[in-house]
């Protein structure tokens, strides 16, 4: 039976680098505090002319170019994001236009930091049935931060990861195996970006306070739930697939922060040399994080045929997910990450 398969991977980390030390000029924090609490050393921010659609299109084009796939042959372009180009239309429509996917249908999905895995689980049956699609996880989270909230602002970065998906009958690559995902809307107030929708409309007062479009988070509660729920859903998937932690070659977790990654690895029973992390350089890029991680791993040639990968993710909603991947053949990939520009590219006074 045909299975959903990742034919190629594209990753894009925008070129502006903001180090922890640079943040200290904007808020009362320190490199030491950020590194010891989160493992993060620097994050990327999009350039002044970049938007969620352009960043998505760059990663999407990288996936297409890596494979040599004609955008005209795409059936779907799906962007998974919590920081869309605009409220309407979907960011995916701008990406579809930019990459020239003239026959494709385009739509966005929003699921917080677990959204990319949820999206893969939703779309895998379509890919298995022969639809060819680009699934792109993108966030410009630095555009949605309150720089006066030091506990939150230091955690996030910008980036995009794209998978070209299709059926295992047509081409080989990384098979999308079984996955699980769950949500608990009773925790919706703990992490999110509440303003600007229909519940909390933007008012002149909010604009004055500069909080109308920023992320709010109760950090310690998020930490506790993230560790517990990612560990649980990772263990459940392993047990349903009759696999032990030892049989997983790589854990590719959502790159939230190093302490969360370490705690989940410990609770599920992984050695740290099984766990991929590049959170030190890219911080938390939300929906982009797992695609970016895979693009980086492929570039570093860490992935080999026959390997089994387990991803776990957690984010706003709360929503959380786990996903198994099996490497049949190493997919083509391109990871664009030249960090040439030290500094911030846009105004910080949000
Ligand atoms: C955000 C997080 C790093 C904060 O760490 P913590 O140890 O829980 O810190 P607390 O919130 O208890 O704050 C401890 C102290 O550090 C201070 N602090 C917070 N942010 C700071 C910063 N950037 N620099 C310096 N001090 C900071 C607080 O003000 C507090 O000071 P106080 O004790 O004088 O009041 C941690 O809660 C966390 O990792 N949460 C999960 C966040 C996450 O990954 N979210 C996305 C999930 S998808």
Q: The whole model's pTM is what?
A: 0.95
Of all protein residues, the one whose alpha carbon is nearest to atom 40 of ligand 1 is 219
**DSSP result, 166-200:** EETTT--SEEEEEEEEEE-GGGGGGEE--BTSSSB
Secondary structure element (H or E) that encloses residue 4, with its range: strand 4-12
Mutate which of 28, 37, 192, 218 for ligand 1? The one with the most ligand atoms within 8 Å of its CB, which is 37
CATH class of the region 1-350:
alpha beta
256-302: pLDDT as tens digits: 999 999 999 999 999 999 999 999 999 999 999 999 999 999 999 99
**Nearest residue to 81 via CA among 124, 42, 38, 110:** 110
The dihedral built from the CA positions of residue 3, 248, 332 and 61, taken in this order, carries a sign that is positive
Residue 209 dihedral angles phi and psi, to the nearest 5°: -75, -15
Distance CA 211, CA 193 (A): 10
Distance CA 78, CA 166 (A): 13
220 C-alpha to ligand 1 centroid (Å): 7
- pLDDT band at residue 340 using 50, 70 and 90 as cut-offs: low
Burial of 256 (0-12, 13-18, 19+ CB in 10 A): buried
Which atom of ligand 1 has the smallest separation from the CA of 254? 48
Which atom of ligand 1 has the smallest separation from the CA of 286? 48
219 C-alpha to ligand 1 centroid (Å): 6
Ligand 1 contacts CB of residue 157 (under 6 A): no
Q: How far does CA 85 lie from the centroid of its chain?
A: 16
182-227: pLDDT as tens digits: 999 999 999 999 888 888 888 888 777 766 678 999 999 999 999 9
- pLDDT band at residue 350 using 50, 70 and 90 as cut-offs: very low
Cis peptide before 89, with omega less than 30 degrees from 0? Answer: yes
- pLDDT band at residue 339 using 50, 70 and 90 as cut-offs: confident
155 C-alpha to ligand 1 centroid (Å): 10
Average predicted confidence (pLDDT) for the chain? 94
Write out the catalytic residue numbers.
Answer: 113, 254, 284
Ligand 1 contacts CB of residue 226 (under 6 A): yes
218-262: pLDDT as tens digits: 999 999 999 999 999 999 999 999 999 999 999 999 999 999 999
Mutate which of 111, 219, 227, 230 for ligand 1? The one with the most ligand atoms within 8 Å of its CB, which is 219
| Neighbour tally for 337: CB within 10 Å | 18
98-125: pLDDT as tens digits: 999 999 999 999 999 999 999 999 999 9
pLDDT at 147 over 80: yes
DSSP state of 275: B
pLDDT of residue 201: 83
Distance CA 131, CA 263 (A): 38
Q: Where along the chain do its domains lie?
A: 1-350
- pLDDT band at residue 26 using 50, 70 and 90 as cut-offs: confident
Which atom of ligand 1 has the smallest separation from the CA of 23? 23
Ligand 1 contacts CB of residue 215 (under 6 A): no
Ligand 1 contacts CB of residue 223 (under 6 A): yes
């Amino acid at each position: 039976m045909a299975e959903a398969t990742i034919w190629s991977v594209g990753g894009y980390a925008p070129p502006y680098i903001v180090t922890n030390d640079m943040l200290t000029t904007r808020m009362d924090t320190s490199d030491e505090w950020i590194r010891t609490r989160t493992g993060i050393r620097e994050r990327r921010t999009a350039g002044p002319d970049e938007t969620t659609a352009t960043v998505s299109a760059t990663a999407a084009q990288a996936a297409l170019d890596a494979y040599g796939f004609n955008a005209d042959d795409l059936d779907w372009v799906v962007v998974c994001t919590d920081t869309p180009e605009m409220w309407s239309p979907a960011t995916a429509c701008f990406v579809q236009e930019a990459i020239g996917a003239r026959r494709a249908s385009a739509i966005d999905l929003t699921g917080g930091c677990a959204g990319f895995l949820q999206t893969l689980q939703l779309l895998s049956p379509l890919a298995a049935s022969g639809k060819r699609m680009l699934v792109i996880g993108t966030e410009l989270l630095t555009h949605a931060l309150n720089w006066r909230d030091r506990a939150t602002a230091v955690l996030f970065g910008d980036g995009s990861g794209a998978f070209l998906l299709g059926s295992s009958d047509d081409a080989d690559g990384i098979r999308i195996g079984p996955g699980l995902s769950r949500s608990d809307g009773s925790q919706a107030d703990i992490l999110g970006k509440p303003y600007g929708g229909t519940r909390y409309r933007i008012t002149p007062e909010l604009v004055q306070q500069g909080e109308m479009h920023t992320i709010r988070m109760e950090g310690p509660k998020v930490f506790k739930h993230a560790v517990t729920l990612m560990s649980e859903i990772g263990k459940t998937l392993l047990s349903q697939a009759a696999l032990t932690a030892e049989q997983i070659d790589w854990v590719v977790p959502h790159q939230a922060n190093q302490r969360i990654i370490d705690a989940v690895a410990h609770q599920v029973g992984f050695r740290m040399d099984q766990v991929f992390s590049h959170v030190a350089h890219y911080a938390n890029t939300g929906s982009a994080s797992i695609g970016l991680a895979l693009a980086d791993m492929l570039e570093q040639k860490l992935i080999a045929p026959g390997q089994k990968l387990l991803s776990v993710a957690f984010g706003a909603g709360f929503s959380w997910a786990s996903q198994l991947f099996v490497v049949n053949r190493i997919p083509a990939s391109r990871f664009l990450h030249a960090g040439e520009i030290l500094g911030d590219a846009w105004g910080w006074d949000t």
